[in-house]
Amino acid sequence: MRALDLKLMRDLRRLWAQCLAIALVLGCGVMVLVLATGTERSLRLTRDAYYDRGHFAQIFAAATRVPKQLLPEIARIPGVAQVEARVSMNVVVDLPGMVEPAQARLLSLPASGLPVLNRPTVRLGRLPDPGRVDEVALSENFAEANGLAPGASFAAILNGQRRTLRVVGLVLSPEFVYLIGPGALMPDDRHYGVIWMNEEPAAAAAGLSGAFNDLSLRLTRGASEAAVIAAVDRVLAPYGGTGAHGREHQVSDTFLRGELGQLGAMALILPPIFLIVSAFLVNMVLSRLILLERPVIGLLKAMGFTGREIAVHYLKLSIGIGVGGVLLGWVAGGWLGARMTQLYTEFYRFPYLIYAPGTASFAISAVMGLGAVALGAVRAVNASARLRPAVAMQPPAPPLYRLGRIDAAAVRMGLRQTTMMILRSITRWPGRAAVTVLGVSAAISVLVACFFTFDSIAAVIDEAFTRTNRQQVTLHLAQSVPATVTEAAAHLPGVTRVEGAFGMPVRLTRGWRSALTQVEARSDGDTLVRVLDGNGRVVAMPPAGLVLPETLAAKLGVAPGDVVTLSLLAPPRDTVDIAVSRVLPQSLGETAYIAAPALFALMRVAPQVNRLNLLVDTDRLPALYAAVKTAPAVDGVLLWTGIRAQFDATIRENLIRTVMIYAVLGVLITVGVIYNAARIQLSERSYELASLRVLGFTRAEVGYVLVGELMLLTFLAIPPGLLGGYGFSALISAGFSTDLIRIPLVISRQTYVVAALIAVVSALGAALVVRRRLDRIDLATALKQRD
In a 3-state reduction of DSSP, which class is residue 6? helix
Near another protein by CB under 8 A: residue from 41, 257, 301, 582: 301
Quick one: which of 465, 466, 454 has its CA closest to 652?
454
State the nearest-atom distance from the C-beta of 320 to another protein, in Å.
Answer: 14
CB atoms within 10 A of CB 78: 11
Nearest distance from residue 752's CB to another protein, in Å? 46
Residue 10 C-beta: closest distance to another protein, Å: 4
Q: Whose Cβ is closer to another protein: residue 397's or residue 606's?
A: 397
Distance CA 371, CA 391 (A): 31
Under rule CB under 8 A, residue 784 binds another protein: no
189 in Cβ contact with 144 (< 8 Å): yes
d(CA 304, CA 302): 5
Which helix (H) or strand (E) segment holds residue 601: the answer is: helix 596-603
398 lies in the site for another protein, by CB under 8 A: no
Tell me the window of 130-138, 222-230, 305-313, 497-505 that interacts with another protein (CB under 8 A).
305-313
If the CB atoms of residues 31 and 285 are measured against another protein, the closer one turns out to be: 285
At closest approach, how far in Å is the CB of 263 from another protein? 44
Cβ neighbors of 779 (< 8 A, separation 6 or more) are 690, 693, 694
Strand order through the sheet with 59-67: 59-67, 211-219, 80-86
DSSP 698: -
Q: Establish if 403 lies at the interface with another protein (CB under 8 A).
A: no
Strands 161-172 and 153-158: antiparallel
Q: Which stretch binds another protein (CB under 8 A): 53-61, 135-143, 295-303, 336-344?
A: 295-303
What's the closest the beta carbon of residue 760 comes to another protein, in angstroms? Answer: 37
Comparison of 124 and 393: residue with beta carbon closer to another protein? 393
Task: Categorise residue 82: left if φ over 0, alpha if ψ from -120 to 50, beta otherwise.
Answer: beta
Residue 772 engages another protein in binding (rule: CB under 8 A): no
Residues 308-367 that bind another protein (CB under 8 A): 309
Residue 778 in contact with another protein, rule: CB under 8 A: no
User: Which of 98, 152, 393, 570 is the binder for another protein (CB under 8 A)?
Assistant: 393
Using CB under 8 A, which of 97, 221, 388, 749 touches another protein? Answer: 388
What does the longest C-alpha to C-alpha distance in the chain come to?
102
Q: Check residue 295 for interaction with another protein (CB under 8 A).
A: yes
- The DSSP element (H or E) to which 389 belongs, if any, is helix 389-393
Least distance (Å) between residue 428 CB and another protein: 15
Smallest separation (angstroms) from another protein to the CB of 15: 11
- As a whole number of Å, the CA-based R_g of the chain is 33
Please answer whether residues 449 and 725 qualify as being in contact, where contact means their C-beta atoms are separated by less than 8 angstroms: yes
Q: Which residue of 132, 166, 305, 697 would you call a contact of another protein, by CB under 8 A?
A: 305
Distance CA 268, CA 264 (A): 6
Residue 290 vs 464, nearer CB to another protein: 290
Is 303 among the residues that bind another protein (CB under 8 A)?
A: yes
The answer to whether 390 contacts another protein (rule: CB under 8 A) is yes
- Nearer to another protein by Cβ, of 68 and 786: the residue is 786
6 lies in the binding site for another protein (CB under 8 A): yes
Burial class from Cβ neighbours inside 10 Å (0-12, 13-18, 19+) for residue 509 reads: middle
CA distance 514 to 565: 9
- When asked if residue 402 is in the footprint of another protein (CB under 8 A), the reply is no
Query: Which positions touch another protein (CB under 8 A)?
Result: 2-4, 6-7, 10-11, 14, 295-296, 298-307, 309, 388-391, 393, 397, 400, 787
